[in-house]
Amino acid sequence: MQGKEADPKDFPQLKNDTFLRAARGEETQHVPVWCMRQAGRYLPEFRESRAGKDFFETCRSPEACCELTLQPLRRFSFDAAIIFSDILVVPQAMGMDVQMVPGKGPTFPDPLKDPEDLQRLRVKVDVNTELGYVFRAITLTRHKLEGKVPLIGFTGAPWTLMSYMIEGGGSNTHSKAKRWLYQHPEASHMLLRMLTDVIVEYLLGQVAAGAQALQVFESHAGILGPAEFKEFSLLYLRDIARRVKDKLKEDGQDVPMIVFAKDAHYGVEDLSQSHYEVVGLDWTIDPRSARERTGGKVSLQGNMDPCALYAPKERISDIVHKMLEGFGTRGYIANLGHGLYPDMDPEHVGAFVQAVHKHSKQMIEQ
């Protein structure tokens, strides 16, 4: 990567701003659509590019991240791109070893066991040094997108990252991480604050590198009850949005932020009052009730059950139509309620995107 493509300025002019307009609640000619994990193993070209290469090595190559980000856009008329990376690059930046074990998923060989283990983490993380490769991937991709659609940057939220750092990988109960919340609340807050500080700098670095929107993934929200969610998740989600927005405002910038707290039904009202422009929803919430409960204060994103993509294409079209009727076409970004799975048929993803565009155009023109 050299010259102009390494420079986070003079980016090509944006041709399709539908996603950004919808995030801000402005009028659009169709409902924008993208999919969580749109770059992924369901695409044969993704499997080919990734074959034989270590996952986090791939994450550290700006050229590879750029190529994987662009792949789904060559097939489908998505209205946004999301940078190919992973939420677990943040624990790595803090000094933890994380491996992606094929067939098992992310694995920390040496997870945090007790509060004393916090001493193993870097106290001050220089995001430019530790995560500069993500920033370079964003800058390169923003140039290579040629203004086709906006580029979304992202991070994991503090609680989700904390749970990985303590569990050492995926978990059904998250009981090791939750034990900390009940046995070591002070150390838990200390870790969550450390993560928050890194995340704020990381998101600001992504914007400086060229990210045009930001999504915060609280993928493990649902394992918390309402009280624990408020104390150990929401507080930090709010702090992140407030600090990122304040800093961007100082610089005269305005970048929409999306919060996706999976399975946090009980938190939807609170999340809509947390300084994010967009609340992302999983499929277990009814679109109409989500609208009622968020009172038109924010835009909404989601929420088709990813497994609905296993349905025949005509049925996908009907499900999309109902979803659009539920959410309405204003202040709405169509997406799945979580990521695509590796065994999904790319043609059905195409049918989903087409159905969103077709039905929403008809509804808006009426």
Known catalytic residues are 37, 41, 50, 86, 164
Which of 259/359 has CB closer to ligand CP3? 259
Positions 263 through 302 that interact with ligand CP3 (CB under 6 A): none
Span near ligand CP3 by CB under 6 A; candidates 10-18, 84-92, 110-118, 120-128: 84-92
The answer to whether 154 contacts ligand CP3 (rule: CB under 6 A) is yes
Residues contacting 3, CB < 8 A, separation 6+: none
Q: Are 293 and 265 in contact (CB under 8 A)?
A: no
Q: Site size for ligand CP3, by CB under 6 A?
A: 20
Please identify which residue in 21, 30, 50, 357 interacts with ligand CP3, judged by CB under 6 A: 50
302: nearest Cα among 279, 318, 268, 330: 279
Please identify which residue in 28, 163, 219, 303 interacts with ligand CP3, judged by CB under 6 A: 219
Residues contacting 235, CB < 8 A, separation 6+: none
Please identify which residue in 22, 39, 94, 320 interacts with ligand CP3, judged by CB under 6 A: 39
The answer to whether 37 contacts ligand CP3 (rule: CB under 6 A) is yes
Residues contacting 117, CB < 8 A, separation 6+: none
- 187 to 109, 118, 156: CA distances (angstroms): 21, 8, 20
Which of 12/105 has CB closer to ligand CP3? 105
Shortest reach from residue 338's CB to ligand CP3, in Å? 6
Which of 17/282 has CB closer to ligand CP3? 282
Strands, DSSP E only, in the chain?
81-82, 99-101, 105-107, 151-156, 213-218, 257-261, 278-280, 299-304, 332-336
The answer to whether 88 contacts ligand CP3 (rule: CB under 6 A) is yes
The answer to whether 105 contacts ligand CP3 (rule: CB under 6 A) is yes
Which of 98/121 has CB closer to ligand CP3? 98
The answer to whether 55 contacts ligand CP3 (rule: CB under 6 A) is yes
Give the HSE-up count for residue 320: Cα atoms under 13 Å, Cβ half-sphere: 32
At position 126, the amino acid (one-letter code) is D
The answer to whether 84 contacts ligand CP3 (rule: CB under 6 A) is yes
Within 10 angstroms of residue 242's Cβ, the number of other Cβ atoms is: 13
| Encoded tokens for 361 | 């155009």
Footprint of ligand CP3 on this chain (CB under 6 A)? 36-41, 50, 55, 82, 84, 86-88, 100, 105-106, 154, 217, 219, 339
